[in-house]
A and B are shown apart, each in its own frame.
Chain A
Amino acid sequence: MSDKALDNIRVLDISDDISGAYCTKYLADYGADVIKIEKPNKGNSTRHMGPFFHDEPDTEKSLLYFYLNCNKRSITLDISDKSGQKILIELLNNVDVFVENFQPGYLEEIGLSYEELQQQFPELIIMSLSPFGQFGPRSHFKGNDLIYYAMSGIMHISGAYGKPPLKHGHPQSYYMAGMTAAYTITSALFSKSITNTGQHIDVSLQEVVASHHYNGPTRYTYTGAIEARATKVEGSSFKGIKFEGIVKAKDGYIGASSQQGRQRPLFSNYAEMLDIPELNDKKFSTATDRIDNADELDKILLPKLEEWNKYDYFDKTMSDGWVTGVVQTPEDLLKCPQLGDREYFIEVEHPVIGKITIPGEIFKLPNCPWQFARTAPLLGQHNTEIYCEELNYSKNDVVLLKQGGII
C-alpha cells in the first residue's frame, strides 16, 4: 500500500531558478522522488540568495534554497560537457518527468533537442519553463520577476492613482510558475497512466503572471474600456474592488472590508458594529453615495479604525460575517492561532543550520499526506548514491568525473 500520492513518480530537475524548484517542491512534498542536478562546485543560484542563516552567506546556509528543496536529493553534473550529456541521457532512462528552465534553444544547441528526447523517451514528460515560452517573437528575450509583472497587465492597475505602477515586493511570479508547472505535470502524468503518451509542456512565465489578471482583457473585449491604476478616491470607502485599500489600525494595518462576499452585510450593520452612528447618515446609504462622499466618509471612518487593534478588528468583523483582512508579518504568521491549530509549522533539523521551524503542509491529502522526508540536500550530497548505486559507476569513476569537472 503506497501512502504518498506521487511515490511512484521519479523527477529529474535540472532547473536553476525559483520556479523549477517550487514546482518540484510541490511534487516532492507529495511523495515524488526528485533528483536535482546542480552545477559542479557552484550549485543552484538559489544557494547564493538570501536570506541566509544568521546572515552567513554560505552554499549550505541559504534559507531560500532550504525552503524550496526539502525532500529532494542533489547530484552535480555539467551538461555543457559531452561526458555530462551522456550521463544525462543515462539518468533520463529511468525518470518520468524532466524539469528544465534553459534559455529556449540551448538544449537543441548541445544536441539534446526536445524532438530527440521525445523520440528516445516517448513516455517522458518534459517541463520547460522559460521567460516568454519556447516559440514566438519574444522567445529569446530575457526575463525576470520585474519584467513579468510589467508585461502581465497587473502592474498597470496596481498602486495609487497618479503614482507609478507597483509590483509585489516578493518575486511571486516564480512561485506562480512553479504551481502552474506542478499542476500541468500531474495532469500529464494522470493522462499518461491511461494513454502512455509523454508530453513536452511549454510554460511561459510572462503568461503565468498575465493569467492572474483574468478580468483585464474582458473589460476591453466587452466594452472597449482600458482599466486604470486606481480611482481618484481611495481609502476605506466601500465601493468595489478599487476601494479595498489597506488602512491603519492601532498596531498595524488592516483591509477594512470587502464589498464582495456572499452575505453582503449591510452598511448599517457595519456602522453598528463599529459603533459609529455618524455613518448612518443618508449621504452614505448607497454604494454610489459612498463614493460621491468618499472624502467625508474617510474623515469619519479612518480615525475610528485606527483605534482598533488589528486582530480585534479582524476577529470581530470576520466572526460577524464580513470579509476583512489583516496585514500579517512573518512574526504574526508564526504566532497565528489558525496555522497553529492546523499544525502548519513543523520543526526539522538541517546538518548545517541545525533545528529550525519551517512552513509545512500546503494542503491536506489525508490518505497520502504532505510529507517531510528529508532536509534540503547538501551540494552533490547524493552523487555516490545515484552514480554508484543507481547508475553503476565505480567509486573511482566518480573521483575521475569530479577531477574532470563533469560532476
Chain B
Amino acid sequence: MASDQQFEAVLSAYQHKVFRLCYALLGDRAAAEETAQDVFVRIWKALPGYRGESSLSTWIYAIARNACLTAMKRRAGRLAISLEEPGVRVAAERRASGPATPDRRPDVLRLVAELPENYRQVVLLYHMEERSYEEVAAMLGLPLGTVKTWLHRARKQLAAAMVEERS
C-alpha cells in the first residue's frame, strides 16, 4: 500500500530526530521513547490526510511537540528530569558527597537540568543536533533569533553556575 511505504520512509528518516526532540522536551529517556512511539502512531493515522500545506518536517515536529505537551500534562507534578537518568543520578550522588574538585569531570548535565525549561530544551537540542541553530528552531517551532538568544543566556547561566560550583 502506498501510504505504508510513505510511512516507512517517514519512520526511517525521522525516528532519531523525533526521539531527540521528545528527549529534549521531556528530559527523560523512557518517556521520550514512549512518546516518540505515540508520535509515529499519530503520524501513521494522519499521513493519508497530509496535503503538504507545510513542509513534512514542520508537520512532523508539530505533531511531536503536541504529543510531548500531552505527555507533560499527564505527568505534571513530577520532576522534569528523572532521577533514574544515569547522568542525573550520578550527579545527585556526587552533589551529596560534597563540592566538585578541579580534577573531576564537570557535571554539566546536572547544571543543564537546573536551567529553566525553555533554556534546557534549546541547549539539549543544540548539542544533539550538531550545533545547528536552524535545526533547533525548526524542531521547536521557534524563530531563529529566539533560539540564539535563549542559547546565549543559557550558556551564560551554565558558565556562571559552573564557576560558582568550582569556587
Q: Is chain B found bound to chain A in the same assembly?
A: no
